Amino acid sequence: MTSPEVQPELRPALVDVQAVYSRAALRDPYPLYERARSHGEVVPIPEWNAVAIFGHEEVSAVLRSPAALSGQLMAVEANAAAQGQVSEAMQLLRPMMLFHNGPSHARLRGLVSAAFTPRVVAEQEELVRGLVREILTAHQGAPFDLVDKLAVPLPVAVIAGMLGLSKDDEQQFRIWTQSVAELLGGIDTTPELLARIEADAREMRSYFRSLADDLRAKPQPGLLSALAAAEDEEGRLSSDELLANAVLLLAAGHETTSNLIGRGVLALLQQEGAWAELAALPELGNTQADELLRFTSPVQLTGRVLGAPLEIAGQSYTAGTHTMLLLAAANRDSRTFADPDRIDLTRANAGRHLAFASGPHYCLGASLARLETRVVFGELARYPQMRVLEDKPQYRPNIVLRGLSKLMVEL
């Protein structure tokens, strides 16, 4: 989402909420969330027909409300269309389950979940461990970029492998899914960037379309083949639905997890004693994975449009109101999490975080993300001397999918 420059003559609550959606939020948005929430956990912005929500309880209630509908696509479309031709990209995004509601969402999600089973996910553990060990062993004894060598390639390899895609194309998937991420949360959406995104969308559609045709003719192991065969009373996924949701898995499956790995490592190494605490744990469980998810919130924010009137924190909002849901701020709500700006690897209620959202669009890949987190940090914990060599880590220009672009470390 691009944001207009902050205008000082506007009222303070509006200025502070606007800052959260601006370039200023890239390096460290948390002080900005705190400043904005000083106006309340729920801040009405009538100028935008919107309400910005920072509190854990309130964000969670909106996400679970049947009145709250996925409306992000409209925002992406309006922003992108204002600056360039993005019809291929929109055709790619439109059938993604993320942007559907009600029965149409349930159908798409049902067909994908039927292939993305807990057993398929559990089977990945040994493969993930093998990959992580291979990467870490190869980089022992010399500085390396953790983002480029581990945080990005690992989740891509895992999800591409699950989908049954060719290993030779992994570099291409990195580029393509970066484009999807830039469309969804980039702040520098120039006409040039949109032209590149459009070209990538065209390539993605043609790549997955021909692959799906092949798999329908000749099924192979892997999720994509299972998706091509999946059928419910209303029939199979159409070609557009199949390829859109395969791309969604590919993009959602790595942009987020990569950011969690990079920022999780940095945060643990920056907090005094936290790395030693991690290294001393006999094994890593979901509590530790959840605490890292809570602390880093790889998807910082999302939104819903009200399809019917809804009461939020005692105030009534009409249908059509945009709710701006600050997942990352909710995850640092001191009413829910004691000492929220500290990583506590034994936090009893870490699992209450909203990093995977909640309600009908609750992250479909949550169990895979937790598995990858447990394995990656469990393996990294075998290097108690690990250190960061970066003074000023660089961030990607994305306020929604927040993550590092580079992190030099030594094991």
Residues that bind ligand HEM (CB under 6 A): 97-98, 109, 159, 248-249, 252-253, 256-257, 260, 293, 298-299, 302, 355-357, 361, 363-365, 368-369
Cβ-based nearer residue to ligand HEM, 193 or 371: 371
Q: Which residue is nearest to ligand HEM (CB)?
A: 365
Least gap, CB of 106 to ligand HEM (angstroms): 9
As measured in angstroms, the least distance from the Cβ of 100 to ligand HEM is 7
**Residue 70 beta carbon to ligand HEM: minimum distance, rounded to whole angstroms:** 7
Tokens 């598995």, located at residue: 371
Closest to 93 (Cα-Cα) out of 211, 169, 184? 184
Shortest distance, position 109 Cβ to ligand HEM, whole Å: 5
Nearer to ligand HEM, 302 or 323 (CB): 302
Q: How far is the CB of 253 from ligand HEM (least distance, A)?
A: 3
Please identify, using beta-carbon distances, which residue of 275 and 356 lies nearer to ligand HEM.
Answer: 356
Quote the least distance from Cβ 16 to ligand HEM, whole Å: 23
Shortest Å distance, C-beta 217 to ligand HEM: 26
Whether the Cβ atoms of residue 33 and residue 17 lie closer than 8 Å to each other: no
Whose Cβ is closer to ligand HEM: residue 256's or residue 336's?
A: 256
In the complex, least distance from residue 361 CB atom to ligand HEM, rounded to whole angstroms: 3
- The answer to whether 16 and 38 are in contact (CB under 8 A) is yes
Compare residues 14 and 95 and give the one whose CB is closer to ligand HEM: 95
